[in-house]
A and B are shown apart, each in its own frame.
Chain A
Amino acid sequence: DVKVTQSSRYLVKRTGEKVFLECVQDMDHENMFWYRQDPGLGLRLIYFSYDVKMKEKGDIPEGYSVSREKKERFSLILESASTNQTSMYLCASSFPHGQNYGYTFGSGTRLTVV
């Protein structure tokens, strides 16, 4: 069964901490994505990557950075966590434009910043 695995289901961090969210896929997908989901706002794209060491800003990149050193791993970094970054974070991966069964999502990481 194909999988996107996010390292943590729940995280609680303090304001100002540097936070790493890890995502690993086993489907040899070129593309990987980070979204955040907030009530009433749907899923908003933070960053995506279409190749190793490549990254593109999404709609809300401020306060975040990413790293993709290997094809299967895409990390989201909160440089200095703030309370407004409390959210559900979803990682996804895909072949170009979701061919062959669409975009596959992980189970999500619910991050609380206190």
Chain B
Amino acid sequence: AQKVTQAQTEISVVEKEDVTLDCVYETRDTTYYLFWYKQPPSGELVFLIRRNSFDEQNEISGRYSWNFQKSTSSFNFTITASQVVDSAVYFCALSEETSGSRLTFGEGTQLTVNP
């Protein structure tokens, strides 16, 4: 069965600090897809990234970067030079090839960036 664990319930940083959000997943499939979503205080879930299991290249998008390591079943998310607008709940999620596109979420990490 698929499972996603985000061990960090809450993180608080000061603006301009770098911060890494951890995500560990469990799956028996060899083909699967990993996602990160942002949920700001307004409540709507915003898609950040999708990564398939055959692509272990790290990705950078502006101040955001993702480190995918199959050896440790981790898909960590780093925000560089954090800003107050980054304050949100961040969710990691997993979809297995054999599970009919169902998306399983981690518990989420509440990130607070203080000025």
A and B: interacting chains: yes
Q: Which residues of A contact B (CB under 8 A)?
A: 31, 33, 35, 40-45, 48, 50, 56, 58, 88, 90, 92, 94, 96-99, 101-108
A108:B103 contact, CB within 8 angstroms: no
Contact of A108 among B9, B33, B44 (CB under 8 A): B44
How many Å from the CB of B75 to the closest CB on chain A? 14
B91:A43 contact, CB within 8 angstroms: yes
Contact of A98 among B9, B33, B107 (CB under 8 A): B33
Q: Which of B14-22, B61-69, B93-101 sits within the interface? A: B93-101
Interface size on B, residues (CB 8 A): 21
Contact of A96 among B43, B45, B101 (CB under 8 A): B101
Is B102 on the interface with A (CB-CB < 8 A)?
yes
B47:A56 contact, CB within 8 angstroms: no
Among A45, A88, A102: residue with most chain B CB under 10 A: A102
Q: Which residues of B contact A (CB under 8 A)?
A: 9, 33, 35, 37, 43-45, 47, 50, 91, 95, 97, 100-108
Number of A-B residue pairs with CB-CB distance less than 8 Å in the complex they form: 63
* Contacting residues, chain A, for B103 (C-beta < 8 A): 33, 45, 92, 94, 98, 103
Contact of A101 among B33, B47, B100 (CB under 8 A): B47
Contact of A94 among B37, B101, B105 (CB under 8 A): B101
B91:A45 contact, CB within 8 angstroms: no
Report how far A47 CA is from B32 CA in the complex, Å: 20
Closest chain B residue to A43, Cβ basis: B105
Report how far A98 CA is from B37 CA in the complex, Å: 12
B102:A98 contact, CB within 8 angstroms: no
* Contacting residues, chain A, for B9 (C-beta < 8 A): 40
Among A41, A58, A99, A103: residue with most chain B CB under 10 A: A103
Report how far A106 CA is from B56 CA in the complex, Å: 30
How many Å from the CB of B48 to the closest CB on chain A? 8
Report how far A68 CA is from B10 CA in the complex, Å: 37
